[in-house]
Amino acid sequence: MARSEYLFTSESVSEGHPDKVCDRISDAIVDAYLAAQPDSRVAVETMVTTNRIVLAGEVRGPSTITHSHLEEIARSAVRQIGYQQKGFHWRDAAVEVYVHQQSADIAMGVDAAGNKDEGAGDQGIMFGYACRDTPALMPAPIYYAHNILKAMAEARHSGAQPGLEPDAKSQVTLRYENGRPVGAASVVVSTQHAENLSTDEVREIVRPYVLDVLPEGWMCPEDEFYVNPTGRFVIGGPDGDCGLTGRKIIVDTYGGAAPHGGGAFSGKDPTKVDRSAAYACRYLAKNVVAANLASRCTIQISYAIGVSKPLSLYVDLHGTGEVDEAKLESVLSETVNLSPRGIREHLKLSRPIYARTAAYGHFGREPEADGGFSWEKTDLVDTLKSAFA
């Protein structure tokens, strides 16, 4: 029997966190290739440390994107995040590029040829999840953890809070009653700040953003509100901690409230099912909940490298379903072509829409006019309802 009363915690990290700097650079490179050639293949990783950026990986795309161009993309991404610090500056950091052509063996297995459809870029399992915690059909702890940092970043970029610096983390613990979130038990925010600010001043800078994001009456007790618990956070970002692409996969997804298949998203073009199939799983799960077929839905899909059809599709409605799960699996398989090509075409993923996903979560965002976050649309609701009418 599922527990009805408990505490659950999720964390988020800002766009200036060292790992997120790497995700942003890698996804900006994906966007550059897709903008120039929509069928480009990209798998690029980034590492950052004190005034150093290292790019490495495999690509297949236009030769007009040179190593110099990749360096410019990396510097631009860091500048947009806001790093102009002595230990990490968009202009002064050394940039090393070790990007080469994709393996012909991998290309042979993935590319469509003759009667063979495009295959998955790798084996693996992918998950999607949706629930009724929030209007975005996301788990509440990760949803609010993201939005606290996003609000702080917007104030920093606008100049409303010049004392805030790019690196930050949040952690929200919510109290659940009868299976629903009802308030915050604790909130933790650690943010890099200007040297002239005291801990108490930083605390009062952060407080209104937490109050504005949490629903009214949800604020935690004062002694459970932790801001910069170490007392000082001036040295931060890549100068304080090495960053790597793909190291915040739980932050990127559901904050631990649902399974994750293991593969990271950033730096990968949409032929990589680590990314595209995870988006498809969220798309299906969100539409199931939006169609009132269940209050919670987890979906798993699996693939083999070079094989176009998924090996399995599994649906778990966690005892909240209004329909038969086995029938729902069949309906979902018939509704959307879940081959790598089918997902990419249905969600229109071969577009430069990925740099914006690199911070504050890949899920629970609003679909955008240019196709960004297309996997958040609920355009399957009528079809799913009709299938079970």
Report the side by side order of strands in the sheet with 6-13: 6-13, 164-177, 180-193, 225-227
Q: What share of the chain is helix, strand, coil (3-state, %, to 5)?
A: 35, 25, 40
Q: How far is 177 from 227, CA to CA, in rounded Å? A: 26
Domains located in the chain, CATH noted: 6-13+140-235 (3.30.300.10), 124-132+268-387 (3.30.300.10)
Read off φ and ψ for residue 290, nearest 5 degrees: -65, -30
Query: Locate tokens 């979560």: which residue?
Result: 361
**DSSP string of 99-152, one letter each residue:** EEEPPHHHHHHHS-BTTBPPPBSS-EEEEEEEESSSTTSS-HHHHHHHHHHHHH
At residue 115, the pLDDT reads: 46
Residues at the binding site for K(+) are 45
The answer to whether 6 and 231 are in contact (CB under 8 A) is no
Q: Which residues are annotated as a binding site for L-methionine?
A: 58, 102, 241, 272
Extract the annotated binding site for ATP.
17, 167-169, 232-233, 241, 247-248, 264, 268
Spatial contact of 141 and 253, defined as CB atoms under 8 Å apart: no
Q: Would you place residue 167 in the very low, low, confident or very high pLDDT band (cuts 50, 70, 90)?
A: very high
**Helices 67-81 and 18-36 sit at what angle, rounded to 10 degrees?**
130
Average pLDDT, the chain: 95
Tell the burial category of 109 from Cβ atoms under 10 Å away from its Cβ (0-12, 13-18, 19+): middle
pLDDT of residue 90 exceeding 70, the answer is yes
Q: Which of 383, 264, 276 is nearest to 328 (CA)?
A: 383
Residue 4 is predicted with a pLDDT of 83
Answer yes or no: is pLDDT of 383 > 70: yes
Percent of the chain, pLDDT > 90?
A: 90
Q: What are the tens digits of pLDDT across the range 128-152?
A: 999 999 999 999 999 999 999 999 9
Distance CA 371, CA 207 (A): 34
* Mean pLDDT of the 166-195 span: 97
H/E element holding 35? helix 18-36
- 362 burial via Cβ count (<10 Å: 0-12, 13-18, 19+): buried
Q: What is the predicted pLDDT for the residue at 109?
A: 59
Sequence ranges of the binding site: 17, 19, 45, 58, 102, 167-169, 232-233, 241, 247-248, 264, 268, 272
When pLDDT is cut at 50, 70 and 90, the band that residue 112 belongs to is: low
For the stretch 289-342, pLDDT in tens is: 999 999 999 999 999 988 889 999 999 999 999 999 999 999 999 999 999 999
- Binding residue ranges for Mg(2+): 19
Compute the distance between CA of residue 19 and CA of residue 111 in angstroms, rounded to an integer.
31
